[in-house]
Structure 1
Amino acid sequence: MGKLCFFLLSVVFLVSLLNGETVTAASRKKVATGVRTRDGSEEWGYVEVRPRAHMFWWLYRSPYRVEDSSKPWPIILWLQGGPGGSGVGMGNFEEIGPLDTYLKPRNSTWLQVADLLFVDNPVGTGYSFVEEGDADLFVKTDDEAASDLTTLLEKVFNRNESLQKSPLYIVAESYGGKFAVTLGLSALKAIEAGKLKLILGGVALGDTWISPEDFVLSWGPLLKDLSRLDNNGLQKANSLAEKIRQQIREGQYADATNSWSELEGVISANSNSVDFYNFLLDSGSDPLSLTTAAAELSQKNAMKSYSRYISSLRSALPGGGVGDLDSIMNGVIKTKLKIIPANFSWGEQSSNVFNQMVGDFMRPRINEVDELLAKGVNVTIYNGQLDLICSTKGTEAWVEKLKWEGLHSFLSMNRTPLLCGAEGQLTKGFTRSYKNLNFFWILGAGHFVPVDQPCIALKMVGQITQSPAADAAASAKKDQKSKHEMRKVW
């Protein structure tokens, strides 16, 4: 049955490549605000979040929807990192969407537990753009990005009563976590003011750049323990990390960004190019690499290497492989969508996004997490065991800085092991929850948890969103186990 669903999903998508409703974009100033496939399974469009600043979104409705009067079907808003990483491209086709970059069904798609909303955020990312590339129209801060995202949600949700019935879960990866917490607070404010018709279900932060200070301070000691740095390398790394800590505390965020780039170069040179997204890998000899050359540690090339890393990652999976993301986004996908301006290419302005946010890149957002917790919002943190750039060691450090009243009780609780997959009894991770704070430690995963550990990631997100599909799957598994036990008895 599952294989049939995936086959039909693929057929529907490919048919929609030809049958999507046509809305012509003759110039960048004329873009469609909403287009859908004839069967209503997909919808996409542009929102002019500010004059001459256009943000692209793409919504998938799940073919696995389960109706449960006690638990509404959820929607996941996926926010990519970078800043400048395309959720519509990378998160969708390389991580959790219905199809991979060969346009073949993904058997671990998160559509199994929720509808999916991808947004190219901030403006200038992916298919989103600012007219004429006007530098003044790019956002400079996380708060400005959150304001644009809130405007987009108002335009998309306020006109659709069906969407308003589903709780929205903001799930973010990497730098997207900073967008997620600022958006969470901005959306709550808009909801309370009656400007946004939406139910906020929660915020999930996956390997996110919430506290740059704690991450850079973790790099040297972690790599020393892993024998990737010696004492000389550790001393150099710690010296630069302390410099960054001081710059952050003095509000010198642009200088701290420059020092961060310098620190990555020092660590690369002293570790023989350890991979920042998976510390078990050597980026100098493995295609799964963020830093294939020292030059790519610069801010200018950060998004290019980020995209190549995750593209390469899928090609290493058994029976896997990956098409060229840039080619399909500027080819068959652009053709399918029909509304992308003809004279604009996917990712054309993405490098500008990073450069314009250099003054906010190293700013911590721990206080925003505290505010969400204090307001009763469900906050989930998950981290891949093998990640370096947003290491678990650094994440645990910033979590311990929270002023939330439940923190002591949370930290004193025992963890629960997580099992998943055909192996049955292999430990895939651990979790701990107290009130509205949840933490998942994912074993065997680097920076991209849904790619490295798709089974446990899908199980985790079903739990986070309280998806009725997750309950149905658990019930079916329980029934199957009971029948097996009965057969053993008889």
Structure 2
Amino acid sequence: MMVTMKYPFLLFVCVLGFVSSITSTNNGLEGTDDGSETWGYVEVRPRAHMFWWLYWSPNRVDDPSKPWPTILWLQGGPGGSGVGFGNFGEIGPLDVNLKPRNSTWLQKADILFVDSPVGTGFSYVEDDNLFVTTDIEAATDLTTLLKTIYNISPSRQKSVALGDSWISPEDFVLSWGPLLKDVSRMDDVGLNKSNSLALNIQQQLADGQYEAATGTWSKLEDVISASSNDVDFYNFMLDDGNDPFVMKTKAWGRLGKQRHAKADDAVDLDSVMNGPIRQKLKIIPANVT
């Protein structure tokens, strides 16, 4: 039961075609000696720099009739780092302890992690006035980055799909209660409360009341936690606090609750990213943390 936050409820993961070459507009391009990883910055607007990190699957098969997929991974929030949290906390080849992850999605596809919007993770702006303020601005920056990355092989830009997406929030919230009831994590009382709030969210979205829907969504999560003995929002088989992956994180704004940040003292992802990972990448500005 993975949950990511985005106002007004928009997070997507796209599966794109094979990437044959990578470029960067500011020459901030690096990679591993064996060519299995490439990373860099794209200046998506003057003085606005977006960071990306591409992993090439060791299982890649070059078959023109079946282009090998590349997964574009974006984190929620906004403000969650796909390069950090999504990579080391969820699906990348290494976990937060920098140990190999057997369940990495790299077994089935290449993975492109992006810190989006600018100001997230290692992406940065040279002037605070350059931060995005709307979804349109964030999408435009991301499109600029993707055009830069994929412009060498336009014929390969196809096979788009969605996964782990937060584009239909009413479907997600309407499923939470019944799922937890089916796996005996919630009783009928909790189910009725959950369904009532979920239907309220559905109506608020239909009426265009996105801020109100966000507030109701937060209330629903409180009900879910209280009615399910604090189910782990990242894995409904676990209780919150028992997930083996835990990390520290900075405040994520007014919606930055710990259930989404997975904050704890066991693993400090900030230290990992600003320690060995920063040293490996080599191109992260000193004032970007």
TM norm structure 2: 0.75
Q: Which of the residues 114, 120, 123 maps onto 2:118?
A: 123
More helix by share: 1
Root-mean-square deviation (CA, aligned residues, Å) is: 3.3
What pairs up with 1:42-61 in 2 under 5 angstroms? 42-61=37-56
SS in structure 1 opposite 2:50? Answer: strand
2:285 matched to 1:330? no
Taking a change above 3 Å as real, the CA distance of residues 234 and 297 of structure 1, as seen in their structure-2 partners, is farther
- Residue type at the aligned position of 1:272: N
2: CA distance, partners of 1:276 / 1:109: 20
Q: Tell me the CA shift for residue 269 of structure 1.
A: 2.2
Deviations 1:271-294 (A, max 9, x none): 3322223333222x624599xxxx
Does the 8 Å CA contact 1:120/1:127 hold for their aligned counterparts? yes
SS in structure 2 opposite 1:125? Answer: coil
TM norm structure 1: 0.47
What pairs up with 1:186-205 in 2 under 5 angstroms? 197=154, 199-205=156-162
SS in structure 1 opposite 2:158? Answer: strand
- Structure 1 unmatched ranges of 5 or more: 1-30, 165-196, 291-295, 313-321, 346-490
2:112 matched to 1:156? no
Q: Tell me the CA shift for residue 330 of structure 1.
A: 0.8
Does the 8 Å CA contact 2:79/2:252 hold for their aligned counterparts? no
2: CA distance, partners of 1:65 / 1:289: 28
Structure 2 residue aligned with 1:140: 134
Structure 1 residue aligned with 2:169: 212
Structure 1 residue aligned with 2:9: none
SS in structure 2 opposite 1:265? Answer: helix
Q: Which of the residues 264, 269, 284 maps onto 1:340?
A: 284
Taking a change above 3 Å as real, the CA distance of residues 339 and 32 of structure 1, as seen in their structure-2 partners, is farther
Taking a change above 3 Å as real, the CA distance of residues 275 and 112 of structure 1, as seen in their structure-2 partners, is closer
2: CA distance, partners of 1:91 / 1:287: 16
Q: Which of the residues 225, 238, 243 maps onto 1:281?
A: 238
Q: Tell me the CA shift for residue 47 of structure 1.
A: 1.2
Structure 2 residue aligned with 1:360: none
Taking a change above 3 Å as real, the CA distance of residues 288 and 251 of structure 1, as seen in their structure-2 partners, is farther
1: CA distance, partners of 2:220 / 2:160: 30
Larger Rg: 1
- Structure 2 unmatched ranges of 5 or more: 1-25
- Residue type at the aligned position of 2:52: W
Does the 8 Å CA contact 1:97/1:109 hold for their aligned counterparts? yes
Taking a change above 3 Å as real, the CA distance of residues 242 and 101 of structure 1, as seen in their structure-2 partners, is closer
2:262 matched to 1:308? yes
SS in structure 2 opposite 1:49? Answer: strand
Q: Tell me the CA shift for residue 249 of structure 1.
A: 1.1
- Residue type at the aligned position of 1:129: Y
2:258 matched to 1:263? no
Taking a change above 3 Å as real, the CA distance of residues 220 and 48 of structure 1, as seen in their structure-2 partners, is same
Does the 8 Å CA contact 1:264/1:297 hold for their aligned counterparts? no
What pairs up with 1:105-124 in 2 under 5 angstroms? 105-124=100-119
SS in structure 2 opposite 1:202? Answer: coil
2: CA distance, partners of 1:225 / 1:67: 43
Q: Tell me the CA shift for residue 219 of structure 1.
A: 2.7
